A and B are shown apart, each in its own frame.
Chain A
Amino acid sequence: MEFVSPEGLRLDGRRPMEMRQIRGEIGAVAKADGSAFFEMGNTKVIAAVYGPREVENRSQQISDQALVRCEYTMANFSTGDRMRKPKGDRRSTEISLVIRQTMEACILTHLMPRSQIDIFVQVLQADGGTRSACINAATLALADAGIPMRDLVTSCSAGYLNSTPLLDLNYVEDSAGGPDVTVGILPKLDKVTLLQMDAKLPMDIFENVMQLAIEGCKAIANYIREVLLENTKQLEYRRGP
């Protein structure tokens, strides 16, 4: 199938190096300590953060750092076929783990020993790249909760179809069966915290694809920073002089 036309347009009209429209919003769940809503095209996710708070299960308490927990779920209505998915299936367990590890790498856990931070992410609408969208939403929510972090973590995926590296695959491109590289970085520190790919790709091409994904992450980081800045300005304004 042709995913990139000879005119250089993808199926949805983007060029290979273009991301989908992104939108982030802080404060989606008022009850949570921090929450955010994040959209990458038609992929919509919501994240809520609770904590740092007391550890629920004493036996899990860690004496010198905070316990980070993450739960990823997909709403039953998030995909077209409205299938009832069992909670805790392999895919969501894996993604929960991935998100937890990625976020743990940037939270300054040693500042909050013997406490617990819960991150809940839920996919409201899925159209490829849910993993990345969840990480981006979680970053925003953590920042909203005021949890100390080394840097923002942002994530973006890139693929390789029709011999062209493509940024930010949507569902159609994702299900083409080509390689899908998901990268998470700490943009300021320029460090990679997440790198996943479950296909074969020659080394040189892989590097190009990964570089593209990193560029995407950086663009998202800039956007998230803007959202946070805007949010802070509003908070300042509300507080009054």
Chain B
Amino acid sequence: MENLLSVQNLTKRFGPVTANDGVNLEVRKGEIHCLFGENGAGKSTLSSCLYGYYRADSGVIRFKGEVAELNSPADALRLGIGMVHQHFVLVSNFTVLENIIVGSAETGLFLTKSDARRKISELCENCGIRIDLDREIWELSVGEQQWVEILKALYFGAELLILDEPTAVLTPQQSDQLFRILDGMRKRGLSIILISHKLREVMQSDRVTILRKGRAIATVETSETTAEAITSLMVGHKVNKHVRDRSVEPTGEVLAVDRACAIGEWGEDILKDVSFNIAHHEILGLAGVAGNGQKELFETLMGVRALSSGGFSLEGELITKPTSREMLDRGIGFVPDDRFLEGLIPEFGTAENLILGWQRAREYCRGPFLDRRKMDALARRKIEEFKVVTASADLPVERLSGGNAQRIILAREFLHSRGLLLANQPTRGLDVAASEFVYEKILEKRASGFAVLLASEELDDLLRLCDRIAVIFKGRIMGIVRPEETTLLELGMMMAGDASDVQRTVQ
């Protein structure tokens, strides 16, 4: 088959960091080609070079057999390379049609919408996209907005479409729809580069190029390999996935949330009648598309956001007007989703971050003074126990990788918490090995009797780790289900707010 794009020996450096190191890549006409790798493996850099956003330090990019000079995204577009970013670039009070033709060279001074409309309708039909061209962007779901981005690229004549983590913001159903559309495009001879770190999606592509530490390790035909093989290639070794120990049964009740409501800045409901409970030895999963109230739920439980009504009790004791101080003193561990914003002081080293929240605790102080010796001893112990890679206990944590930063937060929270752990997206942005380390530690806490609230966008992870899974949509709990009694389809429907058939809550 003919190669639409071929990349030879592409190298891109950022200062001392080599993001792409002699990468070779060939994309055929009419295939879905997946770039697969952990965070920092060089996927985004590579695609940015292909899209003309970065200039490669060395290497040759050929498009349709000719050497492509990509100095800007405009060059890429002119050649026929389009990109759909994770964050959409749409004007929210323009219609779909207007968004697509805006900036196109053919419009000239006056917009000739009728020609454009005909052309776009044709594109829609060919790719199986059903969308009303006259609706304004703000009326559309996230999935539909993504279609508009795709249409925009196609309208500009893209023959190669690069999609950067396209399903990060979608429900499973929306992802399926997206893949049906991509399939339609492939059949029409368009090529697609799909950047992903989700195995489920990778397996739907034609070929996969696995990147590791900036190098292209291998390109394989998806039909001739397995998910396990691809994962091993990505990580460089075999990965053991942890599952919960089913012989340990949840007992009692640690946290009980009762009809908790919270109201946002403009009077909108952020949390509406949220009720659930968590027992000792239990992990309650919290599933939902990002931005449906998960963050706010954690914030209310940590006492940094006020409830408008309802409340919660801890170990049977009703908590009224909590403060973060009180919740920490009651032994709640909290792993925030944005670790550098909410969990760490970036300019502080490991030693000081390990006592954040406890800088006045008797363990680390002598009167008003910090006990540096105790802090340093603690840091040495925890750096070893949690395998934190840092030059010294005083190196600012802003210079550490996300995985190492997360280890510091976990070390701190596990040390100071008693009974309840709140973990919001604890593996966000972490590679497979680091994620499994986090899960292993959380499962250890479950075994020791902790109640754990674990929010994640990785449904597969929730299914193997959690005793029950609560699904949240627009601030409401759509239902609480057991992993062994549910399916991805059912979870996906609940995540999309369609719970008419499945709404149920198990205790």
Is this pair of chains taken from one and the same complex? no
